[in-house]
Amino acid sequence: MLMKVDELNKYEKKLMGLIPPERIQKVDFPRPPKELVEAFKEFEGLTPTVSDVLDSLGIKGAISASRLKPVVKGKKIVGPAITIRYIPESITPDYGYLQKERAKLADRDVYALGEEGDVPVFDAKSLGDVSVQGGMSTLVAQKWGMAGNIVDGGVRDIDTIYKLDYPVWSTGQTPITGKYRVEAMEINGPITIADVRVNPGDLIIADDSGVVVVPFEKIEVVLEKTKEAVKKEDEVLKLFESGASIEEISKILPPSKW
């Protein structure tokens, strides 16, 4: 069901009116408990382990860093998804500038509807080398407490992203503005990034290896299986360091599963 306008009243001081209210699918939706989010953050080398866990559960949720590259390396984020979907504008940039048309980027409105620690996820893969996030967008996202952005599309003002030290993963870096080139079609509806489905409230995990999407209803089981996998790997490493035999090590984790 589409959002009713009066449901957005509590956000009126932050919303900038960049997208028609009827295109906002939802504001209130289940998010993972903060203690679960914090539990994931404790692990190192997180996305490869979670990717393996998702494979074991038959869930397609991992995206490599060759597809979604970290703009600032060395970052790790874990948080619930909020989503925005873009399509190409129907006018040309020349016409838009000449007629002083209203730009239809809505990144700052998705931030306005988010909670501290949320991860804005952008479905803009149909737009080619066009930016849907620039320096001002990055500043607002950081100021309003977003954990980091996942952009299946282009970003620009890379020097500003570096300066703010804000976590961003994207499929491209470009100087080309999205103004008069893109239109926000929906906020907080289901989207896809790199052929992986993302719903608002799904858990997003990203580091230098890539991005994984954990469906909301599977977060607890994925956390438990991640703990088990990390424990076994730690035990194997300790046995190797102690000079244990392959037979001893295989009892903990068979070599075929290393």
Summarised one tens digit per residue, pLDDT across range 83-97 is 999 999 989 898 888
Tell me the C-alpha to C-alpha distance, in Å, between residue 156 and each of 72, 79, 135: 13, 23, 7
Position 1 confidence tier, pLDDT thresholds 50, 70, 90: very low
Is the per-residue pLDDT at 245 higher than 90?
A: no
Q: What is the pTM of this model?
A: 0.89
Q: Which of 23, 19, 18, 17 is nearest to 4 (CA)?
A: 23
Higher pLDDT: 160 or 8? It is 160
Position 231 confidence tier, pLDDT thresholds 50, 70, 90: confident
What per-residue confidence (pLDDT) applies to 249? 55
How does the average pLDDT of the chain come out, rounded?
91
Residue 129 and residue 175 in contact, taking contact as beta carbons nearer than 8 Å: no
Position 230 confidence tier, pLDDT thresholds 50, 70, 90: confident
- Range picked from 15-24, 168-177, 249-258 for highest mean pLDDT: 168-177
Q: Is 157 annotated as a binding residue?
A: yes
Going from N- to C-terminal start, the domains of the chain cover 11-216, 226-257
At a CB cut-off of 8 Å and minimum separation 6, what does 52 contact? 229
What per-residue confidence (pLDDT) applies to 2? 46
Position 250 confidence tier, pLDDT thresholds 50, 70, 90: low
Position 242 confidence tier, pLDDT thresholds 50, 70, 90: low
Higher pLDDT: 198 or 250? It is 198
Least confident window among 109-118, 163-172, 231-240 = 231-240
Least confident window among 145-154, 188-197, 241-250 = 241-250
At a CB cut-off of 8 Å and minimum separation 6, what does 175 contact? 131, 156
pLDDT digits (tens, 9 = 90+) for 117-176: 999 999 999 898 999 999 999 999 999 999 999 999 999 999 999 999 999 999 999 999
Cα separation, 48 vs 33, in Å, equals 23
Residue reference for tokens 């007629």: 99
CATH number of the structural domain 11-216:
3.50.30.40
Residue reference for tokens 């290896």: 209
At a CB cut-off of 8 Å and minimum separation 6, what does 90 contact? 183
- Give the number of residues written for the chain: 258
At a CB cut-off of 8 Å and minimum separation 6, what does 132 contact? 86, 105, 107, 122, 124, 151, 153, 154, 155, 178, 182
Q: Is 94 annotated as a binding residue?
A: no
Is the per-residue pLDDT at 192 higher than 70?
A: yes
Cα separation, 120 vs 136, in Å, equals 15
